[in-house]
Amino acid sequence: MRESIQQHVEVAGIVIEEAKIAHLAYAPEIAMPCCDDNSGSRSINQGLPN
């Protein structure tokens, strides 16, 4: 991900040292089948800060 961002900004002299995903959201049509059972909802929420 860092390299992809770097390609877009290096022409301006910007250096990307680190890139992280802070929030991951799913479209309802993708998220709902995952939440139909308890294990799916746990896998979506696992690792997200409270």
Tens digit of each residue's pLDDT (9 = 90 or more) over 8-38 = 999 999 999 998 888 777 787 777 776 665 5
Q: How far apart are CA 2 and CA 27, in angstroms?
A: 24
- Tell me the pTM: 0.41
The interaxial angle of helices 28-35 and 38-45, nearest 10 deg, is 130
Range of the domain at 46: 22-50
Report which of 15, 17, 26 is spatially closest to residue 48, judged by C-alpha positions: 26
Give the CA-trace dihedral at 48, 37, 31, 1, to 10 degrees: 40
Q: Residue 15: what pLDDT?
A: 93
Asked, for residue 36, whether it belongs to a domain, the answer is yes
Asked, for residue 29, whether it belongs to a domain, the answer is yes
Domain tally for the chain? 1
Contact 44, 35 (CB under 8 A): yes
Asked, for residue 35, whether it belongs to a domain, the answer is yes
**Lowest mean pLDDT: which of 1-5, 17-21, 44-48?**
44-48
Residue 7, pLDDT > 60, answer yes
Asked, for residue 26, whether it belongs to a domain, the answer is yes
